């Protein structure tokens, strides 16, 4: 199968003079239908890797993206405009060339999809943290992506809202969830919640200081002996994160 993404020795430097070497020699292949979790400490490079997958950053190294990729990135802190929830979604569609009337219809469908239809007229910035995260997901869903790039999608949510958003994410990434998803949706997300990683991921990539130190099927990642054999640092990270 042709990978959706094939990164070899990818480097990213950030900051005005490129002084922050945020990704250092990333090798990563992602196949259609995978559910990849990115884990690692603050500053390890998860958000940078997601932005690189989205094609938002200049990079060094070899980076192939399959032609069929239609990716949507939901940021760690979603940017919402100071206008209605409906507008926040409709404008994204309009910018992509939809006519305004049609964009509004599709936007309402997307809000219904995430359970926010009742808030369509509310200023997006006055929604609660969890509602804003749903709104950002609705905006992404409206683009019918076949690759979902989600940066800490439930970071500010209470346990109940977290499970609800996880259920949404699971249905979004399921095969046939949108017309554009012939081979099944692909999910790449970052998370500090290892329980969530277990629930959502099929594969776990552990980053430290811009490098991938472990890249394992989820069951292997959570097997202490297997993980310790692959990467003592990743094992130490998991021990530190587990209450
Ligand atoms: N615009 C920027 N300019 C300079 N340095 C940056 C910029 N964005 C990120 N960095 C740096 O790049 C490194 C990787 O940051 P990144 O945001 O990818 O980490 P992260 O793993 O997502 O962390 P967190 O868990 O806190 O979200 C950090 O050292 C960070 O300070
Ligand atoms: Mg981040």
| Per-residue pLDDT reduced to its tens digit, 161-211 | 888 889 989 988 776 555 454 446 899 999 999 999 999 999 999 999 999
> Closest ligand to 24 CA?
1
Distance 228 CA to ligand 1 centre (A): 26
- Going along the chain from its start, the domains and CATH numbers come out as 5-75+147-209 (3.40.50.300)
Residue 180 alpha carbon to ligand 1 centre in Å: 32
pTM here?
0.93
Query: Who has greater pLDDT, 14 or 164?
Result: 14
Using CA atoms, how far apart are residues 68 and 183, in angstroms rounded to an integer? 10
203 vs 1, more confident: 203
Pocket of ligand 1 (CB under 6 A): 14-15, 20, 22, 40, 42-48, 76
First and final CA of the chain: distance in angstroms?
39
pLDDT, one tens digit per residue, over 83-138 is 999 999 999 999 989 999 999 999 999 999 999 999 999 999 999 888 898 999 99
- How remote is the CA of residue 195 from the centroid of ligand 2, in Å? 18
């Amino acid at each position: 199968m042709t990978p959706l993404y094939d990164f070899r020795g990818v480097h990213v430097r950030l900051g005005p003079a490129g002084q922050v070497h945020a990704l250092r020699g990333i090798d990563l292949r992602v196949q259609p239908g995978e559910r990849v979790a990115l884990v690692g400490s603050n500053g390890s490079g998860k958000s940078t890797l997601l932005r690189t997958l989205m094609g938002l950053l200049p990079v060094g190294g070899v980076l192939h993206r399959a032609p069929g990729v239609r990716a949507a990135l939901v940021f760690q802190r979603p940017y919402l405009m100071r206008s209605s929830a409906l507008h926040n979604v409709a404008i994204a569609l309009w910018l992509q060339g939809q006519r305004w009337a049609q964009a509004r219809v599709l936007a309402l469908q997307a809000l219904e999809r995430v359970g926010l239809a009742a808030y369509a007229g509310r200023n997006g910035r006055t929604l609660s943290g969890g509602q804003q995260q749903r709104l950002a997901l609705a905006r992404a869903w409206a683009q019918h992506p076949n690759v979902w790039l989600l940066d800490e999608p439930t970071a500010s949510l209470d346990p109940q809202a977290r499970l609800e958003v996880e259920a949404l994410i699971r249905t979004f990434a399921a095969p046939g969830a949108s017309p554009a998803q012939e081979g099944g949706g692909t999910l790449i997300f970052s998370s500090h919640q290892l329980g969530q990683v277990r629930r959502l991921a099929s594969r776990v990539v552990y980053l430290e200081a811009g490098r991938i130190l472990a890249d394992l099927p989820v069951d292997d990642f959570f097997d202490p002996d297997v993980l310790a054999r692959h990467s003592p640092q990743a094992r130490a990270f998991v021990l530190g994160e587990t209450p």
